[in-house]
Structure 1
Amino acid sequence: MAQQIINEINKFITFKFDNKKNRVVNIKTAKELEVDEFLDIQYILDCNKIRYKFEKGFEIQILN
């Protein structure tokens, strides 16, 4: 995945990109979760045609 996209994802408060696991991880608890951020990240991935799947705990596994 391009560094520019990773940088965009890492600007969010609730989510960060984990290079080792190649996934977007939720760093907050379920009560603190920002659903709008989750949807924004999904939009970023869709616009950049990045394949992904949703995991438990509002994490996103990158498939590319």
Structure 2
Amino acid sequence: MDLRERVIAAAEEGLMRHNEIAETFQVSVSWIGKLRKRVRETSSVAPEPHRGGQPGAFQAQAAERLI
């Protein structure tokens, strides 16, 4: 079982508070909150897609010039 699934299962059992779950699984309390929100909104524990960041320094056009 994936870490996200185990954390959600522990949270849904209702036997531990978020800070106890965070300590048990070595994750942050805020991550648990974000994960639970994602499950409520999407019904999935899958990670969010990568949202970007800085583009790579090596562009495709530069690669074509090298060939």
Fold shared, TM-score > 0.5 on shorter chain: no
User: Which protein has the bigger strand share?
Assistant: 1
TM-score of the superposition, structure 1-length normalised?
A: 0.31
TM-score of the superposition, structure 2-length normalised?
A: 0.30
Q: Which has the higher contact order (CA 8 A, sep 6+)?
A: 1
